[in-house]
Copies of this chain bind each other. A is one copy, B any other.
Amino acid sequence: MVKQSPVTRERRRHRGSDRVTIQDVASEAGVAPITVSRALNTPERVSPKLRERINQAVANLGYVPNLVAGGLASAEMRMIPVVVPSLSILTFIEVIHGIQQTFEQAGYQVLLGSTDFDLDREASLVDSVLGYSPSGVILTGLRHHDRTARRLRGWGRPVVEIMELGDECIDMNVGVDSHAVGACMAQHLLTRGFQRIAYLGTGMDRDYRAMQRFEGHRRVLETAGVECDLLFRREEPSSYEAGRRLFLEALATRPDLEALHFANDNLAAGALLEANRRGIRVPEEIAIGGYLGLSLGEHLTPRLSTVTVPRYEMGVEAARLLLSRLEGGKPSASRVDIGYELTAREST
Contact = CB atoms under 8 A, between A and B. Distances in A.
Contacts of A48: none
Interface stretch (A127-135, A164-172, A173-181, A199-207): A127-135
Interface in A145-159: 156
A179 to B, nearest CB: 29
Nearest to A155: B17
A112 B109 CA distance: 7
A122 to B, nearest CB: 12
Contact of A131 (B67, B244, B277): B67
A28 to B, nearest CB: 19
A295 B88 contact: no
A109 B132 contact: yes
A108 to B, nearest CB: 11
A216 to B, nearest CB: 28
B87 A97 contact: yes
Given A97-B87, A112-B109, A273 B295 contact: no
B17 A75 contact: yes
A130 B69 contact: no
A110 B79 CA distance: 12
A259 interface: no
Given A97-B88, A156-B17, A295-B241, A68 B72 contact: yes
Given A68-B72, A68-B77, A299-B244, A114 B131 contact: no
15 contacts: A15-B75, A66-B72, A67-B132, A68-B133, A87-B93, A87-B100, A100-B114, A104-B113, A109-B129, A111-B111, A240-B299, A273-B300, A274-B299, A276-B301, A277-B301
Interface string A7-20: 00000000111000
A193 interface: no
A65 interface: yes
Contacts of A221: none
Contacts of A270: 299
A296 interface: yes
B75 A295 contact: no
B131 A64 contact: yes
A101 to B, nearest CB: 8
Contacts of A277: 301
A130 B66 CA distance: 8
Interface in A235-257: 239-241, 244
A96 interface: yes
A308 to B, nearest CB: 16
Nearest to A88: B97
Given A100-B87, A112-B110, A276-B276, A66 B133 contact: yes
Nearest to A312: B88
A30 interface: no
Interface in A63-102: 64-69, 71-72, 75, 77, 79, 81, 87-88, 93, 96-97, 100-101
A109 B109 CA distance: 12
Given A87-B96, A113-B104, A114-B104, A69 B72 contact: yes
A147 to B, nearest CB: 9
Contact of A71 (B64, B68, B110, B273): B68
Interface in A41-71: 64-69, 71
